[in-house]
Amino acid sequence: MEGLVDQLLEYGPWVVFGLLLLSGVGIPLGEDIIIIPAGMLVQHGDLPFWETLIAAYCGVIGGDLLWFTICSHFGSKISHTRWFKRIVHPKRMLQVKYQFDVRGVWVIVLARFIPASRTTTITVAGMMHMKFWKFACATLLCCLITAPMQFFAGWWIADSLQSESTVEMIIRLIGLAMVVVAFVWGYRLWSRHKQSGNAPPRADARWLRPPSKDKK
């Protein structure tokens, strides 16, 4: 295991960049689950500082812009696939669409600070054919705040833990990832329970109808 860890750490910034690209194209890998452990490894001396921070920022931006572009061209088809409905419920998309109708591009900003809302927001923005420069500017500016925050949160956590072995640090990272996943899962349960009372407003369901049905 030590050898495998050493090989991954050798290309650490690229691994961080690649995982964040995957997290931006619909694969449920939260950016915090990637960036916080990366910050911990930097503090531990296993990854370079600037290369990893830049990789984290560029990875988030690249993943978001890639998924936005995909949804701008194929959003209607993607939103009606089974695998995507398991990740994002259509009702949630209609709620986000309503927020876009009311608040516009500010929804992109707000979504960066709300757990488990990144994929849904980007998908809806792409399906609405928001201007690319608007989405890009909002994302670039927001990630200047969120990516370093998550990075230095990991740094602070590692500074508090202070383990001597890299393998021990990896085990603690896995434990931290499990805590984050549990938090996100708990938030989703709480959110669904809260919505069961007074449901938040949402856009007309006709917006999500497949193009073939609209033509009939």
Binned at pLDDT 50, 70 and 90, residue 81 comes out as: confident
Binned at pLDDT 50, 70 and 90, residue 44 comes out as: confident
For residue 171, pLDDT beyond 90: no
Q: What is the pLDDT of residues 201-211, one digit of tens each?
A: 777 777 777 65
**Which tops the pLDDT comparison, 91 or 215?**
91
For residue 214, pLDDT beyond 60: no
For residue 71, pLDDT beyond 80: yes
45: enclosing H helix or E strand? none
Q: What is the pLDDT of residue 132?
A: 95
* Neighbouring residues of 137: CB distance < 8 A, sequence distance ≥ 6: none
Q: Choose among 29, 35, 98: nearest CA to 67.
A: 29
Q: What is the pLDDT of residues 82-101, one digit of tens each?
A: 878 777 778 888 889 999 99
CB-facing half-sphere around the CA of 99: CA atoms within 13 A: 20
Average pLDDT, the chain: 80
Please, is 166 exposed, middle or buried when counting C-beta atoms within 10 Å of its C-beta (0-12, 13-18, 19+)? middle
**What average pLDDT does range 186-214 have in this prediction?**
64
Which single residue is written with the structure tokens 């950016």? 31
Q: What is the pLDDT of residue 135?
A: 96
For residue 197, pLDDT beyond 60: no
Q: What is the pLDDT of residue 194?
A: 58
CA 152 from chain centre, in angstroms, equals 17
Cα–Cα distance, 76 to 51 (Å, whole number): 37
Cα–Cα distance, 13 to 5 (Å, whole number): 14
Q: How many CB atoms lie within 10 A of CB 104?
A: 12
Q: What is the pLDDT of residue 215?
A: 47
8 A C-beta contact, residue 93 and residue 123: yes
Q: Choose among 57, 60, 41: nearest CA to 49.
A: 41
pTM: 0.77
**What average pLDDT does range 30-46 have in this prediction?**
87
Q: Choose among 188, 176, 121, 154: nearest CA to 43.
A: 154
Beta strands in 33-183 (DSSP E): none
Cα–Cα distance, 116 to 7 (Å, whole number): 31
* Size (the chain), residues: 216
**What average pLDDT does range 119-135 have in this prediction?**
92
For residue 213, pLDDT beyond 60: no
Give the CA dihedral 24, 29, 33, 36, nearest 10 degrees. -20
